[in-house]
Amino acid sequence: MKFQIECNTDKINKICLICQQNFQTHEARLIVCNDQGEGYGDICYKCIANGGSWVQSQLQQFSHQLLALK
């Protein structure tokens, strides 16, 4: 998985990939992508605030769930 950071001029409502809560984007968005650059979803600011190690462990769980669906 990769992270993509995008500048954002519009306030967009999204659902966090990790906590599944609705949030409104601000000046930047953090998007989780696969190795081909296809987006899985955004991560909210509350989850980002938990730190890189926490986000990584949550995304590893998400990755395992994706593999189980294949």
CA-closest candidate to residue 45, choices 7, 16, 13, 3: 16
The model's pLDDT over 19-33, given as tens digits with 9 standing for 90+, comes to 999 999 989 999 998
The answer to whether residues 8 and 29 touch, using CB atoms and an 8 Å cutoff, is yes
Which residues in the chain show pLDDT less than 70? 66-67, 69-70
3-class SS of residue 46: helix
The β-bridge partners of 30 are 5
- pLDDT at position 43 is 95
Tokens 């730190």 map to which residue? 51
CA-closest candidate to residue 43, choices 24, 18, 66: 18
Question: Would you kindly state where each structural domain of the chain is located, as residue ranges?
Answer: 2-69
| DSSP state at residue 64 | H
